[in-house]
Amino acid sequence: MDDFEQDLIRMLRQPQEPRPFEPRHRDQLWAAVRVRRRARVRRIAAGSVIAVAACAVGLVLLPRAVDAGPGPTGPGPDPAPTQVVPPTPTDPLPQQTSPGDSTSSTTSRATTSNSFGASTTSNSSSSG
């Protein structure tokens, strides 16, 4: 083993003792900590100023929005629905005749009125 390897093994086996920083290094570290603290305080203060300004602008514009009144709210309410009753079927199903059937059929029309006053016409057919 050469000297480098022996020194390396000795350094790895020795317990590490914390060494204090020298005074000039200590001063540089504290200066960096102070700079970071000042920057953090400035950033927080700037954010607070922006938030207060945004609230002030909102409060200035709010009375104008209230004075203008509500805008269009869409279509008005639907008119009262009318009750539509479908007519009841009074027509019986027409009887179908076969094409070769020689019997004659007669058709009569009947007009009736329902309870609403509307008249309906119905076809009735009979075969004879």
* Per-residue confidence in pLDDT tens, the chain, 128 aa: 788 888 888 888 887 777 788 888 989 999 999 999 999 999 999 999 999 999 999 898 887 766 666 655 666 666 666 777 777 777 666 666 666 555 544 555 555 555 565 555 555 555 54
pTM of the model: 0.37
Residue 50, CA distances (Å) to 21, 41, 56, 57, 59 in order? 41, 14, 10, 11, 14
Domain ranges of the chain: 21-67
The predicted pLDDT at position 94 comes to 60
Q: Cα–chain-centroid distance for residue 55?
A: 26
Q: Distance between CA 108 and CA 126 in Å, rounded?
A: 8
Would you say 109 and 100 are in contact if contact means Cβ atoms under 8 Å apart?
Answer: no
